[in-house]
Structure 1
């Protein structure tokens, strides 16, 4: 294990050391930023067999990517370029087809738009053509009445928000991210220069998903298409701009970006806490309270999200604190994976 850890957060250092020693982690990084200071910046283990996890190792963060895509939308909202209460069709006219003329931007950000997956069967390669994949979503009917509860837009979220961003700015999410935050070592659409720094994911023994217990729309969402972990280090995957799932980063880069939320450095931050859905999600099968781009706490000014395998980001606005954890040894479950819970509990013990 390498890096630094403020004594107030010793429990995080102890947890990383133990999990690396026991093999619960292959490689991982952890970061805490509070009041503008980096109080925890730890990393260790292996990025791939025989290759150490270094200070600058990157890894695919799966759905944690959505929180970075949400940052771009919040940035545009604060500048008055994007209105969450406006119909999506105001910015993207073709989207108004098939009865979606009243679907709002906030429905998309809050996973209530009814477009959790494609009605047409798509392959992973189809998703790399983000404009065409977004056009397919624009042409189809919603799976349920928009605004009537959530159904996690596991893959489609990035295509929908990404196309809205492109229509507003003329640039992709990845391009806006690079232009606005040039020092952030987090990539949506990564150049070949970073390939050697990307860790190899260690898939869980199973996804942890009981497909037989899920509704048909949930099964469709989670299998159309399947995205196996080994594909995440291939050049076509890394180059694509999949704003819902293929961000490459480490705990430090995630925490630095997300501290813009916890430190209220974006004027639209409070919009995150506009609750869009509060109940059992149609896809996840678990109770989730969705705001704009994040899950939100019922009482505290805390917003968070995780990625398949266990990566986690937590923004605590009252404490001006951001916590981030990313790893390459994945654990099963789409939400509340064992490693996610372990790190959330360790952080809580420090606070």
Structure 2
């Protein structure tokens, strides 16, 4: 497949508005293409692709002895242990088994963007089931649970820690962010609705995602939220604003060395990417395999559990394929519903090219 030609056609026909694709194999860049955006250095908010960045940061800190996967989060953040949460561990948070995926129904977008407010909300929450016994996607709360843990052990905000421990060593400090600095705002490509918000609106009444995870429309992961200046500036480690190139480079540096930099030891990657929980997710109501902070074997990953990474609302994705030594990232400006096949098309094309 002529990948650049495919991207150009998708944008020219209106099927997509803006795309970036990047891939590394065995530590070297093999794909870098874009269409409909200012370039491969344009920043695109990619929602929960950022959870993979947060997981990576936690694992880097764990290898440095700053975080213990099996330690209670309350060891680092004592206030979190209230209301039956004293036994919740970092591992529980990474696997979405902490049992606190919920947000208050009346929460506003302004409150969502205030770090201290949201840490207070999470600390005061009560588990919805026995922690550690089942997994339910922590769409927003994942970011504060792990992000405040990072802040307590490093003394840095999550965004500062991501920069120091992940982005700067890889030379992508201006391409990988939780919250953006003011100076980066002009590089952000606006998102547009392409079916994702309609998909959320079409979920059955009482669906766990819209009843608990994002319990009012202002908290839905939509273009109208992500295009707000205050949101883009907020440190929200459940999400990230980045380039496809940065995401692919980060995952490549988990698989092996990239220009002399490797983020985790082989044993660390093996532990992070092994199946930790598997079954029907309580919030998403679909069957998933999860490692420590990553989803495993999703369709764009080839359906193979040797691939690990994270998707984002509206169709962005980034992952590492251990069997092929391949990392792949797609960022997009048009937020699409689950019936859109662009992500699968492009991931399959890159996989086929590597195979050839």
Fold shared by both chains (TM-score > 0.5)? yes
Q: Aligned equivalents of 1:274 and 1:99: distance in 2? A: 28
- Residue-by-residue CA offset, 1:300-348 (whole Å, 9 max, x unaligned): 4210211011001120123221101101011114xx8533322333233
Q: 1:189-241 CA distances to partner (integer Å, 9 max, x unpaired)?
A: 11111111110111123431343265446522133433431332332111100
Corresponding pairs, count: 333
Does residue 263 (structure 1) correspond to residue 256 (structure 2)? The answer is: yes
Deviations 1:31-80 (A, max 9, x none): 011122111111111x4xxxxx3232111011101111111101101111
Residue of structure 2 in register with 1:302 after alignment: 307
- The 5 A counterparts of 1:208-219 are 208-209=199-200, 210-212=202-204, 215-216=207-208, 219=211
Which blocks of at least 5 consecutive residues in structure 2 are unaligned? 298-302
Q: Could you tell me how far apart the structure 2 residues matched to 1:20 and 1:227 are?
A: 23
SS in 2 for 1:330: strand
Aligned partner of 2:106 in structure 1 is: 121
Give the superposition deviation at 1:119.
Answer: 4.0
The aligned counterpart of 1:288 is: 288
CA separation of 1:27 and 1:124: change in aligned 2, threshold 3 A? same
Moved more, 163-172 or 201-210: 201-210
Deviation of 1:11 (Å): 5.1
Structure-2 residue corresponding to 1:5? none
For 2:209 and 2:23, the matched residues in 1 are separated by 37
Structure 2 SS opposite 1:211: coil
SS of 1:102's partner is coil
Contact 2:208–2:283 (8 Å) recurs in 1: no
* Partner secondary structure for residue 199 of structure 1: coil
Q: What's the secondary structure of 1:258's corresponding residue?
A: helix
**Contact 2:101–2:136, Cα closer than 8 Å, also in 1:** yes
| Counterpart for residue 273 of structure 2 | 273
- Give the structure-2-normalised TM-score: 0.87
RMSD: 2.1
From 144, 168, 186, the counterpart of 1:159: 144
Aligned to 1:29: 20
Q: Which runs of 5+ in 1 are unaligned?
A: 1-9, 48-52
CA distance, structure 1, for counterparts of residue 314 and residue 43 of structure 2: 15
The range that moved more, 151-160 or 341-350, is: 341-350
CA separation of 1:36/1:348 partners in 2, compared to 1, >3 Å: closer, same or farther?
A: closer
TM-score between both structures, scaled by the size of structure 1: 0.88
Matches within 5 A, 1:181-200: 181-182=167-168, 183-184=171-172, 185-200=175-190
Change (3 A) 1:28 1:241: same
Query: Equivalents in 2 of 1:223, 1:331: separation in Å?
Result: 21
Q: Does structure 1 residue 326 correspond to structure 2 residue 331?
A: yes
**Pick aligned residue for 1:40 from 17, 20, 31:** 31
Q: Can you list the C-alpha shifts for 1:246-282, whole angstroms capped at 9, x where unaligned? A: x111111111122122227212222213433211111
Question: Does residue 149 in structure 1 map to residue 134 in structure 2?
Answer: yes
CA distance in 2, matches of 1:284, 1:11: 35
SS of 2:308 mapped into structure 1:
strand
Does residue 343 of the first structure (1) align with residue 346 of the second (2)? Answer: yes
